[in-house]
Amino acid sequence: MNRGRFITLEGSEGAGKSTNMDYIQQSLQARGVDIVMTREPGGTSIGEDIRELLLGHKHTGMSDDTELLLMFAARAEHIHKVIEPALQRGQWVLCDRFTDATYAYQGGGRGIAAERIAILENWTQGLLRPDLTIYLDVPVETGRQRAGDRSDPDRFEKEQNDFFNKVRQTYLHRGEQEPDRFRLVDASMALEQVQARLDEIVLELLD
């Protein structure tokens, strides 16, 4: 049995990840790929509880290190219970955010050194890295307008544009550092154009 492929989808707020997760799934399934959809933080029972801690407002003033460690705690459970078993069964895994988000939000946004994140990445993931990462890139203002004035913004959505600009710059930098793995999609285009580009990436994946 061939090992499955591990695809991650990234983007800053309102870039269109949720909208396009379904599109990519349908596109791959239509071509006969057996695919598991999941998300971070979350994807397991423990991970979804950790997500509530991270995104909710129950605990104010969470320290940056606590936030980082909770992201990796959720990720450890996710890898053990969902991602690795699926890949070993030969299924593909499409994950809404993964460790690039940690580099972008906890690294770029919060200012935690990439070297410290890399220690946790190596410890938690071993050799596991995404085979391909699709990054939906949109200017911060556009993404935030699209996400709209949510009646109950989560702990990250309450951050200011300066935070999200650093998040975006970190994603773009990582894309430049790893051009073989990253596929940058200009998500400021109309949805049909974004999805036409996603079709090209799906075809490339199946090649």
Q: Which of 37, 73, 128, 147 is close enough to bind ligand T5A by CB under 6 A? A: 147
Q: Which is nearer to ligand T5A, 145 or 206 (CB)?
A: 145
Pick the closer one to ligand T5A by CB: 194 or 205: 194
Distance CA 135, CA 49 (A): 26
15 forms part of the interface with ligand T5A (CB under 6 A): yes
**Least CB distance from residue 2 to ligand T5A, whole Å?**
27
Instruction: Please tell me whether residue 78 binds ligand T5A under the rule CB under 6 A.
Output: no
The CA R_g of the chain, rounded to the nearest whole Å, is 16
State how far the Cα of 7 lies from the Cα of 172, in Å rounded to an integer.
18
* Distance (Å, whole) CA 198 – CA 183: 9
**What's the rounded Cα separation, in Å, for the pair 111 and 30?**
41
Please choose, from the candidates 167, 162, 176, 87, the residue with its C-alpha nearest in 3D space to the C-alpha of residue 133. Answer: 176
**90 in Cβ contact with 34 (< 8 Å):** yes
Closest CA to 11 of 119, 192, 118, 146: 146
156 touching ligand T5A, by CB under 6 A: yes
Number of residues that bind ligand T5A (CB under 6 A): 24
**Judged by CB under 6 A, which of 4, 41, 43, 108 binds ligand T5A?**
41
Q: Could you say whether residue 47 binds ligand T5A (CB under 6 A)?
A: no
Name the residue type at position 181.
R
Binding mask 117-136 for ligand T5A (x = CB under 6 A): --------------------
Binding-site ranges for ligand T5A (CB under 6 A): 11, 13-19, 40-41, 71, 96-97, 101-102, 105-106, 146-147, 156, 187, 190-191, 194
